[in-house]
């Protein structure tokens, strides 16, 4: 989507669709010359209802004028603008062409520009690309920010780059496990790396990761006919800033049956989205490379199925992780922390100074926060808070959780160094993070539990109104890398 900026003018903008936000102060001053806009905005009470739209069919150059409400001032934020933009795209979905958006004074123009692009691209995403009549087209070919300066263009174009990467991560999450095997995900990472000069990829197969001692990852992988892959991507910018090597680690269970501790049949089809953390990490490092950010970045993605079969690992088994620690298996459906154990240790061994992992790890996180916030835990409060701040600034909402040493006792085992789950229903997201902490080594680490935010069983009533993958984590990664390279 091409982006332009033009100064405000009394003359109606030349565009196929003109978007007029109606905020607490009414319609923007540069919209008063448009016929009937003020009257319709008042009659439809748009200022009081965020996301409500009214469509006008003018005689002038525009084919449509879409008025969209921003709601009361105390509730107006970037998410409001994102949702408004998604509603505009929906109201004018058959027009296409050029959209002119009249900027107002509701939020700083830079924040508005990013949110508008997010709403247009993320809000118009269609998960039904396997339908016979599917069309993968952007909502508009060109966006004109009316009343903005030229410096907004770069920010809006950056937002478009990130949003498009998030939509690619959504495609990965929505792809059936018959198509997106661990090998195919590794191929996708290789295709992505080939597009960027400073991005390289390596993919470890079963012989290689078993030789390295990744017994926890191999244990999960051994039940599937589709071979697992430990995918490693490296981004080396030509002129890096600072000594940070950002380590991104992703859980990519391309389908999760639960193993012998099998899941209920209801909604099991959504378990194709259990690789959402890995998909976000792959597309996240890809967008870091595409933006040319001067921060060295490493991605380690543990890609496997968790299958039921004669070769599957069992409750009661003991696995030895890459760092030498032993794990009693008490629940084969707690496989995510096992694959992450070896991936985290490997990322640190490869030189990552600052780690952050993304995983659809615990159903309890979904029950606690629903589909709006991810929970963030870690061994360093300052690093955890930096990850949370990146999420909030980007639209990938995150909230800090405590990590007290006493939670570690919930995974004590009589037979091994630890067990992979507890039958007690207490503090499940935190004791899962306590398990991961055993494998992160020295240095800052943050764990982002995206169980509720990464894949929707039911649509959300905002700009992310589609079932399936959300691309959660891509925007957070881009924001975090940007801050680290500042």
Which tokens belong to 131? 């339908």
From 328, 327, 356, select the one nearest 343 (Cα to Cα).
Answer: 356
Q: Are the C-beta atoms of 201 and 301 separated by less than 8 Å?
A: no
Question: Which secondary-structure segment (H or E) carries 426?
Answer: none
In this structure, the number of other CB atoms found within 10 A of the CB of residue 151 comes to 12
- DSSP labels for 22-67? EBTTBS-GGGTTSTTHHHHHHHTTGGGSTT-EEEE--SSS-SEEEE
Query: What letter does residue 316 receive in the DSSP assignment?
Result: T
Which tokens belong to 249? 């680690």
Which tokens belong to 94? 């058959």
Q: Are the C-beta atoms of 88 and 99 separated by less than 8 Å?
A: yes
Q: Are the C-beta atoms of 259 and 349 separated by less than 8 Å?
A: no
Distance in angstroms (rounded) separating the CA atoms of residues 460 and 122: 13
Q: Which of 263, 325, 408, 460 is catalytic?
A: 263
Q: Is 251 a catalytic residue?
A: no
Question: 133 Cβ partners below 8 Å, 6+ apart?
Answer: none
Q: Which of 114, 170, 234, 337 is catalytic?
A: 337
Q: Is 337 a catalytic residue?
A: yes
Q: In sequence order, which ranges of 134-242 are alpha helices (DSSP H)?
A: 151-174, 182-193, 206-211, 215-221
Catalytic residue list: 263, 337
């Amino acid at each position: 989507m091409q982006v332009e900026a033009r100064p405000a003018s009394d003359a109606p903008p030349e565009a196929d669709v003109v978007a007029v936000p109606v905020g607490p102060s009414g319609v923007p001053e540069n919209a008063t010359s448009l016929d009937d806009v003020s009257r319709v905005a008042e009659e439809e009470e748009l200022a009081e209802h965020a996301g409500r739209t009214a469509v006008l069919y003018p005689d002038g150059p525009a084919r449509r004028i879409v008025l969209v409400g921003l709601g009361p001032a105390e509730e107006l934020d970037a998410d409001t603008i994102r949702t408004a933009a998604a509603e505009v795209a929906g109201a004018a979905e058959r027009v296409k062409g050029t959209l002119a958006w009249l900027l107002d004074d509701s939020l700083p123009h830079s924040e508005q520009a990013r949110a508008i692009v997010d709403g247009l691209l993320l809000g118009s995403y269609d998960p039904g690309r396997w339908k016979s009549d599917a069309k993968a087209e952007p909502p508009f070919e060109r966006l004109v920010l009316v009343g903005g300066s030229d410096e907004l263009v770069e920010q809006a174009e950056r937002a478009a780059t990130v949003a498009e990467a998030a939509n690619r991560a959504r495609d990965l999450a929505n792809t059936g496990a018959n198509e997106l095997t661990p090998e195919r995900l590794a191929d996708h990472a290789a295709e992505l790396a080939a597009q960027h000069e400073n991005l390289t990829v390596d993919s470890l197969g079963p012989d290689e990761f078993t030789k390295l001692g990744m017994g926890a990852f191999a244990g999960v992988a051994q039940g599937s006919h589709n071979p697992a892959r430990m995918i490693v991507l490296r981004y080396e910018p030509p002129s890096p800033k600072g000594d940070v090597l950002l380590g991104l680690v992703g859980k990519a269970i391309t389908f999760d049956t639960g193993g012998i501790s099998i899941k209920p049949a209801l909604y099991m089809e959504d378990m194709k989205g259990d690789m959402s953390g890995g998909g976000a990490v792959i597309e996240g490092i890809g967008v870091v490379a595409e933006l040319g950010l001067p921060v060295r970045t490493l991605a380690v993605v543990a890609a496997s199925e968790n299958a039921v079969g004669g070769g599957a690992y069992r409750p009661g088994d003991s696995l030895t992780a890459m760092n030498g620690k032993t794990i009693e298996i008490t629940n084969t459906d707690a496989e995510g922390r096992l694959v992450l154990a070896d991936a985290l240790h490997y990322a640190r061994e490869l030189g990552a100074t600052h780690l952050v992992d993304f995983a659809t790890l615990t159903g309890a996180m979904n029950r606690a926060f629903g589909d709006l916030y991810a929970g963030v835990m870690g061994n360093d409060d300052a690093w955890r808070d930096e990850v949370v701040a990146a999420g909030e600034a980007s639209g990938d909402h995150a909230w800090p959780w405590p990590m007290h040493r006493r939670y570690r006792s919930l995974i004590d085992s009589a037979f091994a160094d630890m067990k992979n789950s507890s039958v007690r229903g207490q503090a499940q997201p935190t004791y899962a993070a306590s398990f991961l902490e055993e494998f992160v080594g020295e240095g800052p680490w943050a764990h982002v539990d995206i169980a509720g935010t990464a894949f929707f069983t039911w649509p959300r009533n905002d700009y992310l109104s589609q079932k399936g993958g959300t691309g959660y984590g891509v925007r957070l990664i881009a924001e975090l890398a940007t801050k680290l390279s500042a």
